[in-house]
A and B are shown apart, each in its own frame.
Chain A
Amino acid sequence: MDAARTTDVVVIGGGQAGLAMSHSLTDRSIDHVVLERAEVANSWTTERWDSLRTLTPNWMSRLPGFSYDGDDPNGYMTAGEVAAYLESYRRSFGAPVRTGVEVQRIRTLDRSHVVETSEGPWFARSVVMATGACSQPRVPAIAADLPGNIQQLTPTAYRNPAQVAPGAVLVVGASASGLQIADELSRSGREVTLAVGDHVRLPRTYRGMDIHWWMQTTGLLDERFDEVEDLARARRLPSLQLVGSPEQRDLDLNTAAANGVNPVGRLAGIRAGRAQFSGSFANMCTSADLKQNRLLDEIDEYAASHGLDAEIGPTWRPAPTSVGRPALELDLRSVGSVVWATGFRPTYPWLDESLVDGRGQLVHDGGVLAVPGLYVLGLPFMRRRKSSFIDGVGPDAEELAAHLVGHLERSVAGAA
């Protein structure tokens, strides 16, 4: 058996969340270690498609003690650039990252936690799980009904159109990932059907400013988990239909359709070699248009009440989503590949089952678990709307670090 390793805090995951927490702990002179299964920012280098860029502009990449200082603040980083950015962050304060260490199990003893890893056990008084919200693509059960000869991909496995089996493609899910992949496949000459459920639509820029600038400026991104009306719903909200591109182009169902994508209703079932789509497509589009216009109305009200109208562009509204006559069925004999862009779920295979609810979701209060000393970081709307953003994880890390210090002090006092 390896010699026991002891520290105050074990942070699991060397991405934006783990590094932000490491910085917050370093600031507080708390002994800790960051365990990373591969390399820093691993999922950015190994689980993203080639053309992917961030949805938020470069200036919006602020982490505790670090920010973007390149020459394209209004651009959008490629996945490789994000990985390089996070590696620079790690170096900037010498984060104690141990790479190539796989966590196998967390056991809680009386006052401490044992983190069993591929390099042996770590003993710590606190553990922060910072493995992100996208550890596993969510694939619906009906995937099992697809004929076996059809290739099935997820956004973490998709790289580029050349990799996709010949034939037509069915992309399921029209949030950022699904819509971007459908658009890219269609522009590469593939016949693409896009199954569309609930989605959130917004223009890339509005009145001359990036939509995320507006969401930050109006306070939307700082909305807190203990203030929002329906937290479970806010956490389920699909990602915005946006793409980060040098020309700041819009990406919505209208632009995708103009590029040849066939949007249809939500995938409802697979019967007798045919995919069946819900007849609710029109309502999905109407709901998204209404939601979008309500947000743009709020932005206009904010601009007017803050005297911004003279400095920015005129008000406008994106064209309503064109519904057309969506197909209700697709003959799967023509389909070579199905891309499941149906969301992600975080997974904690090392955690005791009693800490997750009946649907496999971690039970936590703003990142604080019921077991003293256990924390999670980097989940959607964990403590604020921007929690899962590179730009948003910092304030969460700071607040959890403060809570964690309290726990360490209490556990010392309790032991005395």
Chain B
Amino acid sequence: MSITEATTTSVDNGVNVEALLGAREALTAAPPAARFTFSATNEWVNGTHSRTTVEKFFGLGEEQSHRRPYTVDTDHPEIFAAEDNGPTPPEIVLIGLAGCLTAGVASVAQNRGIQLHSVRATVVGSTDLAGILGIDPDVRNGYSSIRVSYQIDADASREELQAVVAQSQKRSAVFDIVTNPTTVVVEVV
């Protein structure tokens, strides 16, 4: 599909922008309703394999629920002498980042009247295992850098798409989680 195939139908990326803008207005008027708590329960299976479930969360002042429980298995690959029953946890972070940014791309594009035809992101996280293996104290455990490359086919100029991707980062929860420090408390109860 190309831009020259002028279409008279309105832009539809499957995002209900009116609902989002309505929520923004409603939550501006009622700040406590905007406070959400997301949670997950994790169960060890065996070795490095564990299973995490998300179902309930709290928001709009009351308990909420997904349509059904979702489970994600995480494990380490066979080269680490594990069984590879699922993605590694750091890969889950890449999944979260990509999912969040792409949701933002669709929403921002919808809001700006840009019809998307295809969006493909490649996420590459670079890490040096000398960190988690305790070989070099100067190497961090986490990714030293993450690169996300978007290939987008849409009825918009390259600059407009760059602006959509930039705005998506500005409003992304996972981008913020990954780029900024967050207080994390881990306890045994």
Do B31 and A358 touch across chains, with their CB atoms under 8 A apart?
yes
Cα distance A287–B164 in the bound complex, in angstroms:
10
- Does A269 make an interface contact (CB < 8 A)? yes
Do B170 and A283 touch across chains, with their CB atoms under 8 A apart?
yes
Give chain A residues whose Cβ lies under 8 Å from the Cβ of B175. 280, 283
**One of B5-13, B48-56, B81-89, B178-186 at the interface:** B178-186
In chain A, what residue has the closest Cβ to B166? A287
CB proximity of A203 to chain B, nearest CB, Å: 18
Q: Give per-residue flags for B139-180: 1 if the beta carbon is below 8 A from chain A beta carbons, else 0.
A: 000000010000000000001001100110110000110111
Cα distance A279–B167 in the bound complex, in angstroms:
16
Cα distance A271–B169 in the bound complex, in angstroms:
25
> Looking at chain B's contact residues, is the secondary structure mostly helix, strand, loop, or mixed?
helix
Do A287 and B170 touch across chains, with their CB atoms under 8 A apart?
yes
In chain A, what residue has the closest Cβ to B181? A269
Cα distance A287–B170 in the bound complex, in angstroms:
9
Q: Which of B159, B170, B179 contacts A293 (CB 8 A)?
A: B159
Give chain A residues whose Cβ lies under 8 Å from the Cβ of B181. 268-269, 271, 276
Do B178 and A279 touch across chains, with their CB atoms under 8 A apart?
yes
Give chain B residues whose Cβ lies under 8 Å from the Cβ of A286. 162, 166
Cα distance A401–B178 in the bound complex, in angstroms:
50
- Does A265 make an interface contact (CB < 8 A)? yes
Give chain A residues whose Cβ lies under 8 Å from the Cβ of B180. 266, 268-269, 278-280
Chain B CB count within 10 A is highest, among A269, A287, A293, for: A287
Cα distance A279–B166 in the bound complex, in angstroms:
14
CB proximity of A196 to chain B, nearest CB, Å: 13
**Size of the chain B interface, CB-CB below 8 angstroms:** 15
Cα distance A266–B175 in the bound complex, in angstroms:
14
Cα distance A294–B157 in the bound complex, in angstroms:
12
With A283-B170, A287-B170, A358-B31 as given contacts, are A278 and B162 in contact (CB-CB < 8 Å)?
Answer: no
Cα distance A266–B180 in the bound complex, in angstroms:
9
Cα distance A294–B162 in the bound complex, in angstroms:
12
Cα distance A280–B179 in the bound complex, in angstroms:
6
In chain B, what residue has the closest Cβ to A325? B145
Give chain B residues whose Cβ lies under 8 Å from the Cβ of A198. 170
CB proximity of A342 to chain B, nearest CB, Å: 16
Do A290 and B179 touch across chains, with their CB atoms under 8 A apart?
no
Cα distance A294–B166 in the bound complex, in angstroms:
14
Cα distance A278–B162 in the bound complex, in angstroms:
20
With A268-B180, A269-B180, A269-B181 as given contacts, are A280 and B169 in contact (CB-CB < 8 Å)?
Answer: yes
Give chain A residues whose Cβ lies under 8 Å from the Cβ of B159. 290, 293-294
CB proximity of A291 to chain B, nearest CB, Å: 8
Give chain A residues whose Cβ lies under 8 Å from the Cβ of B179. 265, 268, 278-280
Do B166 and A290 touch across chains, with their CB atoms under 8 A apart?
yes
In chain B, what residue has the closest Cβ to A265? B179
Cα distance A197–B162 in the bound complex, in angstroms:
18
Cα distance A358–B169 in the bound complex, in angstroms:
28
Give chain A residues whose Cβ lies under 8 Å from the Cβ of B167. 287
CB proximity of B41 to chain A, nearest CB, Å: 28
CB proximity of B155 to chain A, nearest CB, Å: 18
Give chain B residues whose Cβ lies under 8 Å from the Cβ of A268. 179-181
CB proximity of A351 to chain B, nearest CB, Å: 22
Chain A CB count within 10 A is highest, among B170, B178, B180, for: B180
Do A283 and B166 touch across chains, with their CB atoms under 8 A apart?
yes
Cα distance A294–B164 in the bound complex, in angstroms:
13
Cα distance A9–B181 in the bound complex, in angstroms:
50
Give chain B residues whose Cβ lies under 8 Å from the Cβ of A278. 179-180
Cα distance A414–B101 in the bound complex, in angstroms:
58
Cα distance A269–B176 in the bound complex, in angstroms:
13
Chain B CB count within 10 A is highest, among A276, A283, A358, for: A283
Docked complex: B94-147 residues within 8 A CB-CB of A: 146
Nearest first, the 8 closest Cβ-Cβ pairs linking A and B are A279-B179, A269-B181, A268-B180, A287-B166, A283-B169, A280-B179, A278-B179, A278-B180
Q: List 16 A-B contacts (CB under 8 A).
A: A265-B179, A266-B180, A269-B180, A278-B180, A279-B146, A279-B178, A279-B180, A280-B169, A280-B179, A280-B180, A283-B175, A286-B162, A287-B166, A287-B170, A290-B162, A294-B159
A interface, CB within 8 angstroms of B? 198, 265-266, 268-269, 271, 276, 278-280, 283, 286-287, 290, 293-294, 358
